[in-house]
Amino acid sequence: MSPVLITFYFLAAFTLATAFLTIYSKNPIHSAIYLVLCMASIMGHYLLLNAQFLAIVQLIVYAGAIMVLMLFTIMLMNLNKEDEVHKPRITRLGAIVVFILMSVVLITIFINSKTIMGEYDSTGEDFQSIKVLGKVLLNEYMVPFEFASILLLVAMIGTVLLTKKEKEQK
């Protein structure tokens, strides 16, 4: 077995294990940590596919920003056991039925799928290079890139102002 194949199998097992733990964990903070580990292992899959930009975006956007957002949301909601609503058995049964049906459909699709055999047409240009992507992003798409950064900054300021508690005046 090649080292790449061993690494793939390890990452696949780790991804599945952390995804399962994300769902199975009763503590929302632990679930968020398992989700960060799952996203990091998916980043490893991107690196195996020689997609460095997607790997970095996976790490920064998903494992970084989204998880910070989730942790802030969990902390702002102040989840307690006393506040948790008891779910009826019919809801649990419905979730189990939907899970089984979705699993059967996905396994059937996986079994009946055929791999694509053949050569890929190559133009000779390197579209996965971060250097090429940076040149295109900061030359041709500079204005939309700056608009996106301003939009994210305004959204962040708005979020801080919305969650800020008013001080009582004495």
Q: What is the mean pLDDT of each run of 10 residues along the chain (170 residues)?
A: 91 94 86 90 92 86 80 69 68 88 92 78 70 82 86 82 64
* Contact assessment for residue 55 and residue 128, using Cβ atoms and an 8 Å cutoff: no
Domain that holds residue 48: 1-84
Q: Where are the alpha helices (DSSP H) in 25-141?
A: 28-48, 52-57, 67-77, 89-112, 130-139
Q: Is 114 contained in some domain?
A: no
Q: Identify whether residues 77 and 6 lie together within a single domain.
A: yes
Q: Identify whether residues 13 and 74 lie together within a single domain.
A: yes
Determine how many CB atoms are found less than 10 A away from the CB of residue 15: 18
- Taking only the tens place, the pLDDT of each residue in 22-60 is 888 888 888 888 988 999 999 999 999 888 888 888 888
Q: Identify whether residues 76 and 141 lie together within a single domain.
A: no
- Given this model, what pLDDT does residue 170 score? 53
Q: Identify whether residues 16 and 77 lie together within a single domain.
A: yes
How far apart (Å, rounded) are the C-alpha atoms in residues 35 and 48?
Answer: 20
The residue assigned the tokens 């989840």 is 79
* Contact assessment for residue 43 and residue 35, using Cβ atoms and an 8 Å cutoff: no
Number of H helices, E strands in the chain: 7, 0
Q: Is 136 contained in some domain?
A: yes
Q: Is 44 contained in some domain?
A: yes
CA 100 to chain centre: 24
- Given this model, what pLDDT does residue 17 score? 95
